[in-house]
Amino acid sequence: MTTSLVNITINKILNLIKNENLKPNDKLPTVEELSTKYNVGRSTIREALKVLATQNIITIKQGSGTFISEQQGMSKDPLGLEYISDDINIIFDMVTLRLIFEPEMAAMAAQFATRKDIQYIKDCCYEVENLINEGKDYYKEDANFHVAIAKASGNSIIHKITQVIHSSIKKNIFMTDNTLCKDTIVFHKRIIDCIENGDISGAKYAMINHLDAQRRFLIDNYKYKLTRKQL
């Protein structure tokens, strides 16, 4: 087995994913099937799959098979924030960044969302609400809510960017404030209502209000930790 053969096999598998239009959670052919298809040894296929797994293009599940990754091609820490100790300023910067594009994203969702999109956004909202009411961590479900809106915008790049942003956000700080948690439910439902009713302007400003509430929370509660230029 040579490196060049593995690389050739990787490219063939990538072409298979593209040509077959495989989506997240779709299953790839088995190692045996790929070995036969590309006329290479199973060890070459396994090595190629390992490389693709490290690139987060596929997920290998022991006993179940190989699947297209939910966040295809993105690393676990795409913005390199994991080892930055200045959490408050990073979170503040993240909220500010989101204020730049998520309101327009919500407006686009109000214009282009399908019934299926809206139902999924609602499902995410219900999951967030249930976890908040139970006093549990709702970070992942909240991220799913915003990513679902991004998907409903119909813009694949916005969808990808939103996945990157929300995979990097550390939101535990927000989850400790009861008022902000309750407001999150209200804001989420308001955003959904606007999207469902095709209210483009309403969806935009509902998202602005939602994110600005988080921004104000940081300023009011962590002003002494934020740099002067941000205030």
Q: Quick one: pLDDT at residue 86?
A: 59
**Intrachain domains 3-68 and 87-230 with the same fold:** no
Specify the pLDDT at position 39: 94
What pLDDT is attached to residue 93? 86
Q: Residue 172 pLDDT > 70, yes or no?
A: no
Q: What is the pLDDT of residue 199?
A: 98
Mean pLDDT for the stretch of residues 192-206: 98
**Of 191 and 216, the one with more pLDDT:** 191
Per-residue pLDDT reduced to its tens digit, 42-61: 999 999 999 988 888 888 88
Q: What global pTM score does this model have?
A: 0.72
Rounded to an integer, the average pLDDT of 97-125 is 97
Provide the CATH topology of domain 87-230: Four Helix Bundle (Hemerythrin (Met), subunit A) (1.20.120)
Above pLDDT 90, what percent of the chain?
55
CATH class label, 3-68: mainly alpha
Task: Name 83's Cβ contacts closer than 8 Å, sequence gap at least 6.
Answer: none
Question: Quick one: pLDDT at residue 169?
Answer: 67
| Range among 118-122, 156-160, 178-182 with highest mean pLDDT value | 118-122
- pLDDT on residue 225: 64
Angle at 118 between CA 117 and CA 120, to 5 degrees: 65
Domain boundaries, the chain: 3-68, 87-230
Q: With contact defined as beta carbons under 8 Å apart, do 185 and 128 qualify? A: yes
Q: Mean per-residue pLDDT for 15-42?
A: 91
Task: Judge contact between 223 and 138, C-beta under 8 A.
Answer: no
What is the pLDDT at residue 1?
56
pLDDT tens for each residue of 133-156: 998 888 889 999 999 999 999 999
- Does residue 214 contact residue 174 with C-beta atoms inside 8 Å? yes
Give every CB contact of residue 193 below 8 A, 6+ residues apart in sequence.
Answer: 199, 202
203 vs 216: CA distance, rounded Å: 20
Tokens at 44, concatenated: 């070459």
User: pLDDT band at 158, cuts 50/70/90?
Assistant: very high
